[in-house]
Structure 1
Amino acid sequence: MGWRTLTEEEAATLPEARLGGALLWIVIAAFVLCLVALLGSTLAFQRLPAIGLRYAIAVGFVTIWSAGFLVLTALRWRHTPVVASAGLVLWIGWRTSVVLSGSPVELWPLLVDMAAEAMLAAGFCGYMATAVRPNAYYRRRLPVP
């Protein structure tokens, strides 16, 4: 797909160049995720060691990912889609390695969960790479017709 740079007028007037639609919902979800993780870590920290180090690392990673995504979105950094997508893939990779390092037969429900998360991440990555709004918002570009 070819892209062209937004004009100044398009950047100021096109709704796709503003935070809205599915991208806004992703930002809201990242905010809620970050808030819950930070509150949980503050108010009930003892639960993190109770779930085990490997899962605590996953919680810490996704907390940092969501906070970073919020900051990068506020800054409208043009590489946010790639960085956010890579972060999700790394997070799912970590969680999958945790499950596979145990007994996959005993932990098969978590493997199903990982497959579902991988599908969601694929949708997120595809949306961030090819959809009009993320490209207009972060990268200031539109698809060439």
Structure 2
Amino acid sequence: MTTEWRDLSEAEAKLWPKARLGGALLGLAIVTGVLTLMLLILLLVAGWKLTTGGVEEFVRAFAGRSRFAYIGLVSAISVIALMIWSAVSFSLILARLRFAPAVMATGAGFAFLIGVASSATAQWLIVSQSEQDVWTYAVAVLPVTPQWLGSLALTIGTIGYLVGGVRPNAYFRRRVALPSA
């Protein structure tokens, strides 16, 4: 069953509260804005460190074969993926582009997959460094499984809201769902 839509008139769009930034969409804008600010600060600090001779510290932090270097590198990958998604999403919310919900939903899916893959990779690297068997990997992954499932639930909810929610459709696409018969 597909949803039927109708475009909002200019008068409706100005008067209807759902066509404005508010509710969960405003919450998403605030969180993605904070993460975007954090990304900008991170880039400024990293740029400053690299230009003032901090290259050795950066290389030393991720070099070697220590478990902590692996965990740090893999964690950085998932955090950076989340921050990039946040920066793109925040920009799309401010620009109010019609295709924003689809791009944001796709990005949320990719950020989730990168987070799970990088976490599983970190666990595998830790286990492989200790020369343990596959069962040790299973035991190492078991504690992070609830986090993965929780992230999956939040990702599915975010995607569902962005694609089919009343406010995202009214705010970005200037349309409203027709009542089903």
Q: TM-score range by the shorter chain?
A: 0.7 to 0.9
CA-atom RMSD, angstroms?
A: 2.1
Residue of structure 2 equivalent to 1:26: 28
Residue of structure 2 equivalent to 1:4: 6
Distance in 2 separating the partners of 1:42 and 1:108: 37
Q: Percent identity?
A: 38
Shift of 1:73: 0.8
Distance in 2 separating the partners of 1:65 and 1:99: 18
| Mapped contact 2:85–2:104 kept (Cα < 8 A) | yes
Distance in 2 separating the partners of 1:114 and 1:72: 27
Unaligned runs of 5+ in 1: none
Question: Number of paired residues?
Answer: 144
Per the alignment, do residues 43 and 109 of structure 1 end up closer, same or farther by CA in structure 2, a change over 3 Å counting?
farther
Q: Return the index of the structure with the highest Cα Rg.
A: 2
Residue of structure 1 equivalent to 2:143: 109
1:77 is paired with a residue whose SS is coil
Residue of structure 2 equivalent to 1:15: 17
The residue identity in structure 2 corresponding to 1:71 is: S
| Mapped contact 1:38–1:63 kept (Cα < 8 A) | no
Residue of structure 1 equivalent to 2:111: 91
Per the alignment, do residues 104 and 79 of structure 1 end up closer, same or farther by CA in structure 2, a change over 3 Å counting?
farther
Matched, 1:58 2:78: yes
| Mapped contact 2:19–2:167 kept (Cα < 8 A) | yes
| Mapped contact 1:34–1:67 kept (Cα < 8 A) | yes
Q: TM-score, normalised by structure 1?
A: 0.87
Distance in 2 separating the partners of 1:94 and 1:104: 19
Which structure 2 residues correspond to residues 35-54 of structure 1 after superposition, within 5 A?
Answer: 35-40=37-42, 42-43=44-45, 49=62, 51-54=71-74
Residue of structure 1 equivalent to 2:164: 130
